[in-house]
Every structure is written in C-alpha cells, then in structure tokens.
Amino acid sequence: MAVYSTNEFRAGLKVMLDNDPCAIIENEFVKPGKGQAFNRVKIRNLKTGRVIERTFKSGESLDGADVVDVEMQFLYNDGEFRHFMVQDTFEQYQADPKIVGDAALWLKDQDFCFVTLWNDAPLAVTPGNFVELEIVETDPGVRGDTSGGGGKPAKLVTGAVVRVPLFVQTGEVIKVDTRTGEYISRVKE
C-alpha cells in the first residue's frame, strides 16, 4: 500500500491512523514564519464515524488504507446478516447490523447502495441519496388538505419514520432524502 506524506493529504484520501482506516476531511498547513511547520488535519474514523483533529509535523507520513466505495445491490436480510451483491461481477458480501447501522432503515430488497470495503470486507453501508419507499402506517389525513404545513409522522416499509404532508396516505410510495430524512414527493406508480 502507498505511503502518503502530509503534503499529499487531500480531502477524501484514505489512510491508516491508530490501526483504523480513516478519511481525511481537511488539512491545514500551519507554520510560523520562523519555526516548525505542522499540518493540522481533520480526520474521520471510518469504523466509528467519529471526527477528530490531529496535528502532524510537516513531512510525516501515514500508510494508505485499502478502502473503496462500491455500488452494490441489497439482496436480502437473513436475520443475522444483510447480503449485498456487485452487479457486474455477482460477487457477494455480507454485513452484520453493526456495520449496516442506520442504513438498514432505508434499504429495501433490490435497492442499490454503496458499501465501503476495507481490505475487501464491508466497513460501512451508505444508502443512495434518494430512496422510494412505501408508507405502511400513517394517520388518515384530512381530505382536501394539500398544504405542506404541519405534517404527520409516517412509518415506511423499512421501519424509518419520516414527516409527510397531511394528504399523503398509507400505501403510497414516497421519495425521501436519506441524508436529511426529509420527505421530497409522492411517487406515482
């Protein structure tokens, strides 16, 4: 694996820090006119999701981490593991709930998502930015109310609960932004 020096640290670069795979978020060069140069680096631990700040002496280096995001299809949940497949190669991966995390609330069978692989093993799962899911439970709305104000909770087929406008009914399919958990629109079947 490649070794990266502080001046190669760019947003998105994957490196090993304290034995965990991490992604660089920000790298600030700090140098007094007369004095030691440092790099103040913001890093996300890809295992825990935690963001930390760490200072390096300029010129220090870190090992690269073999981390890639691969688009996969979510196949099924066997109760213990969720199974994913790479569309082109039919290669399959399984991930336990700890790794899938909240993404599980947005994933229905056959949907596409991104699986982050570290040394070819799943590290994290990210749903697509937008998903289309059916509402399985919501209070009946007032007929004729088409305003966006107010809203009510609606439970989706995957278990997620989002706020929807009053006119949206059980059984309808809606489009949701998974990054914010916000309702976008109804989807006409």
Partner 1 sequence: MQQDWQPSCSLELLRLRAELLHDIRRFFHGRSVLEVETPLLGDCTGTDPQLAFFSTEFCRTPLQQRLFLQTSPEFAMKRLLAAGSGSIYQICKAFRNGESGRFHNPEFTLLEWYRVGFTLPQLMDEIEALFAGLFNGYGLQAARRMSYQAVFQQHTGLDPLQFCHQDYCAYAVANGLPEAVGLCTDNHLLWLDFIFSHKVQPLLGDNALCMVYGYPACQSSLARISADNPDTVDRLELFINGIELGNGFYELTDADEQDRRFTKEIQVRQEQSLAPVFKDQRLLAALAAGLPDCSGIAIGLDRLLMVLGHAKAISETLSFSIDRA
Residues listed for the chain: 189
Closest CA to 117 of 99, 130, 131: 99
- Per-residue interface string for the shown chain with partner 1, residues 43-82, x marking contact by CB under 8 A: ----------xxxxxx------------------------
In this structure, are residues 97 and 138 in contact, taking their beta carbons and an 8 Å threshold? no
To partner 1, the closest distance from the beta carbon of 152 in angstroms equals: 42
Binds partner 1 by CB under 8 A, chosen from 29, 50, 91, 120 = 29
Binds partner 1 by CB under 8 A, chosen from 12, 19, 32, 89 = 32
Whole-angstrom Cα distance, residue 166 to residue 155? 14
What sections of the chain are H helices per DSSP?
97-100
| Window of 29-37, 88-96, 98-106, 177-185 that interacts with partner 1 by CB under 8 A | 29-37
Considering the complex, state which of residue 35 and residue 140 has its C-beta at the smaller distance from partner 1.
Answer: 35
Considering the complex, state which of residue 53 and residue 69 has its C-beta at the smaller distance from partner 1.
Answer: 53
Whole-angstrom Cα distance, residue 20 to residue 176? 32
Considering the complex, state which of residue 57 and residue 163 has its C-beta at the smaller distance from partner 1.
Answer: 57
In this structure, are residues 157 and 150 in contact, taking their beta carbons and an 8 Å threshold? no
Scan residues 87-116 and list those touching partner 1 (CB under 8 A). Answer: none
182 near partner 1, rule: CB under 8 A: no
- Burial group, residue 24, by CB count within 10 angstroms (0-12, 13-18, 19+): buried
In this structure, are residues 38 and 55 in contact, taking their beta carbons and an 8 Å threshold? yes
Considering the complex, state which of residue 53 and residue 71 has its C-beta at the smaller distance from partner 1.
Answer: 53
Residues that bind partner 1 (CB under 8 A): 7, 28-38, 40, 53-58
